[in-house]
Amino acid sequence: MAIKLATANDLEWVNAQYQKIDFVPSSFDNEIIAIVTYNDDFAGVGRIVYLNDEEVEIGGIYILDEFRGLSLANELVGYLVETAKKKNLKAVYCLPFENLKTFYQRFGFNEFEHDASQVNEKVMKKHQWCLDNYDAKVLLLKLVDDC
């Protein structure tokens, strides 16, 4: 298992994975894209999306079916969280499906008291879109400062 940062040559593969699961395509305009490998095969992908200079969203976590059960999502999310922490950001958000709440809490994400004026507008819009378009409930989580 290893984590590598995606290059321009990897972007077609990354977006082919996201297309399979109806996620928004990636670009290098405002993202750090990480690929998790297993035995030198691309096994999954995730990203940090910059909302502005001080706020990001960690998301787009996807492990290919044939690589599930190998704890690769743990490695990938851990890498993304550690990368975000090194940036000294004001806020790190995540919008997981409700059944993944415990998984993301292990990395320091929690639900938090908020109103729309306290949360980045892009995250609020995406959260509402998710609530409107997915059958499963989507949570709005934030990385706690003391993790």
Q: What is the DSSP string of the chain?
A: -EEEE--GGGHHHHHHHHHHTTPPPP-SSSEEEEEEEETTEEEEEEEEEESSSSEEEEEEEEE-GGGTTSSHHHHHHHHHHHHHHTTT-SEEEE--BGGGHHHHHTTTEE-----GGGS-HHHHHHHHHHHHH-SS-B--EEE-TT-
State pLDDT tens for residues 88-119.
899 999 999 999 999 999 999 999 887 777 89
Residue 118's pLDDT is what?
83
> Rounded distance, CA 118 to CA 31, Å?
23
Q: Provide mean pLDDT across the span 22-44.
A: 96
Give 57-69 pLDDT, tens digit per residue: 999 999 999 999 9
pLDDT score of 13: 98
| Dist. CA 73–CA 75, nearest whole Å | 5
What mean pLDDT do residues 37-50 have? 97
Q: What is the pTM assigned to this prediction? A: 0.92
Percent of the chain with pLDDT over 90: 88
Residue 144, pLDDT above cutoff 90 = no
| Torsion angle (degrees, nearest 10) of CA 143, 84, 90, 57 | -70
With 90 as the cut, is the pLDDT of residue 29 above it?
Answer: yes
Confirm if 33 and 13 have CB atoms less than 8 A apart. Answer: no
